[in-house]
């Protein structure tokens, strides 16, 4: 009976070890899934043209290519799930063994897990998987790399900087390649990420018009924090407010100086605000841009009518393109309302002292359609200070 009791106690201990291993694997899977979910908050670099990721030493390898990292994490989950299934199967076998009644074999009672011959208790036939590493002599290489990681962690704890984070991650990778355990370093990296996020939030909030570099540094800290399962909600909220301040600043510049470069600046910063989730800032930016493009088109058209130089014509064309892109306006540049329909293919050879108004009146019935001649023959007018001084003999397309 003592042998039966010993076998039962051994099997119970084995069951507890298996349950502990199963729970540990499940916790690992949940942790990786949380990291994956946090990674989904970041867009791929191609979808963020306004952000240029700065190379940050070796951490660039881990933090910058987010899609490969997601794939690696998913692969880790798959392997852990396979391990969990194996542990669960072994656990079921152990529980069945514990529930089986003892049988009489020879002079003593032996548990079914015992040997075929009576008199002893056999080890379970299914390999025991507890997740604990086998006891092996210390490896000098692993021990050295482990010490290097410890030193890097100590430095990082004293000075939370991206450079020191890079050194810790490099030490982690070296130790992992040699078969050592680098898991303890993730807590230090996460703590550093939290400190860097706090510093980034303080820098961004410290300016009435947040600088892009400060926002970029905050985003880098958030990326690091998300990789370790940290909370980046405060960072996202700060970036959204900062984007709104930047949009308001750009709108102010546009209203004080209505020019195409400032329109494009407001568009770019409004796109930044959209990616950071500040919809109110986006709406304000787009309204300002739409109003400004209409004003630009009217002003440039007036200037072109007064002085039809190539430079004024190009400014007029640029303004119309910008307004058309934003409002969907369809400017019929070479076919305005009231222009008479002519058979296609008509050309005209410019005569001495002939003006565009003269040619327009001859073919279109009104001198007011002179700009159509420019639209249809723009390459002939490039470089001319005055379109009316086009060289005699130049052939113009009329229709």
Residue 237 in domain? no
Q: How sure is the predictor about 224, in pLDDT bands with cuts at 50, 70 and 90? A: confident
Q: How sure is the predictor about 36, in pLDDT bands with cuts at 50, 70 and 90? A: low
For the chain, give the percent of residues with pLDDT over 90: 14
Range 250-278 average pLDDT: 88
pLDDT for 83 beyond 80? no
pLDDT for 54 beyond 60? no
Looking at the structure, tell me whether residues 270 and 221 fall in a common domain.
Answer: no
Residue 101 in domain? yes
Range 14-22 average pLDDT: 79
Q: Which domain does 197 fall in, by range?
A: 140-231
Residue 264 in domain? yes
Q: How sure is the predictor about 367, in pLDDT bands with cuts at 50, 70 and 90? A: confident
Instruction: Compute φ and ψ for 379, nearest 5 degrees.
Output: -65, -25
pLDDT of residue 340: 84
Residue 218 in domain? yes
pLDDT for 180 beyond 50? yes
Pick 114 or 9 by higher pLDDT: 9
pLDDT for 66 beyond 50? no
Pick 63 or 322 by higher pLDDT: 322
pLDDT of residue 331: 60
Residue 378 in domain? yes
Domain boundary residue, one of 198, 231, 264:
231
If we measure between CA atoms, which residue out of 313, 372, 296 comes closest to residue 341?
Answer: 372
pLDDT of residue 137: 60
Looking at the structure, tell me whether residues 60 and 48 fall in a common domain.
Answer: yes
Looking at the structure, tell me whether residues 7 and 99 fall in a common domain.
Answer: yes
Residue 29 in domain? yes
Query: CA separation (Å) from 123 to 132, 189, 315?
Result: 18, 43, 88
pLDDT for 217 beyond 80? yes
Chain centroid, CA 160 distance in Å: 24
If we measure between CA atoms, which residue out of 247, 268, 331 comes closest to residue 294?
Answer: 331
Residue 391 in domain? yes
Residue 110 in domain? yes
Looking at the structure, tell me whether residues 107 and 148 fall in a common domain.
Answer: no
For the chain, what is the domain count? 4
The CATH number assigned to the domain holding 341 equals: 3.10.350.10
For residue 109, what are the β-bridge partners?
104
331: tokens are: 């400017």
Q: Which of 80-94, 201-215, 261-275 has the lowest mean pLDDT?
A: 80-94
Looking at the structure, tell me whether residues 304 and 363 fall in a common domain.
Answer: no
Domain boundary residue, one of 309, 331, 353:
331
User: Cα separation of 143 and 175, whole Å?
Assistant: 9
CA torsion 203-208-212-214 (nearest 10°) is: 0
């Amino acid at each position: 009976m003592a042998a039966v009791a010993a076998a039962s106690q051994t099997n119970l201990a084995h069951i507890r070890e298996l349950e502990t291993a199963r729970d540990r694997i499940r916790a690992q899977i949940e942790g990786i899934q949380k990291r994956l979910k946090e990674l989904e908050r970041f867009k791929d670099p191609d979808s963020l043209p306004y952000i240029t990721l700065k190379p940050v030493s070796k951490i660039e390898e881990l933090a910058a290519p987010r899609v490969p990292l997601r794939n690696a994490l998913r692969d880790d989950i798959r392997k852990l799930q396979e391990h969990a299934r194996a542990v669960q199967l072994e656990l079921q076998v152990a529980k069945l063994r514990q529930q089986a009644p003892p049988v009489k074999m020879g002079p003593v009672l032996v548990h079914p897990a015992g040997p075929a011959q009576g008199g002893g208790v056999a080890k379970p036939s299914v390999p025991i998987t507890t997740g604990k590493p086998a006891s092996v002599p210390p490896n000098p290489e692993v021990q050295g790399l482990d010490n290097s990681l410890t030193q890097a962690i100590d430095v990082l704890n004293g000075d939370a900087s991206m450079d020191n984070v890079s050194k810790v991650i490099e030490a982690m990778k070296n130790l992992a390649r040699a078969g050592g355990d680098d898991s303890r370093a993730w807590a230090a990296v996460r703590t550093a990420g939290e400190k860097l996020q706090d510093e980034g939030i303080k820098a961004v909030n410290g300016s009435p018009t947040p600088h892009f570099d400060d926002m970029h540094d905050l985003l880098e800290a958030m990326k690091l924090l998300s990789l370790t399962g940290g909370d980046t909600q405060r960072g996202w909220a700060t970036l959204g407010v900062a984007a709104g301040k930047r949009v308001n600043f750009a709108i102010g510049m546009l209203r004080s100086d209505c020019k195409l470069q400032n329109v494009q600046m407001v568009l770019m910063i409004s796109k930044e605000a959209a990616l950071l989730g500040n919809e109110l800032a986006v709406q304000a930016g787009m309204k300002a841009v739409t109003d400004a493009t209409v004003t630009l088109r009217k002003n440039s058209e007036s200037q072109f009518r007064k002085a039809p130089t190539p430079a004024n014509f190009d400014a007029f064309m640029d303004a119309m393109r910008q307004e058309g892109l934003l409002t969907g306006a369809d400017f019929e540049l070479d076919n305005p309302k009231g222009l008479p329909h002519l058979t296609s293919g008509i050309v005209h050879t410019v005569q001495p002292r002939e003006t565009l108004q003269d040619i327009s009146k001859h073919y279109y019935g009104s001198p007011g359609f002179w700009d159509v001649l420019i639209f249809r023959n723009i390459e002939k007018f490039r470089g001319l200070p005055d379109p009316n001084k086009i060289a005699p003999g130049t052939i113009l397309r009329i229709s």
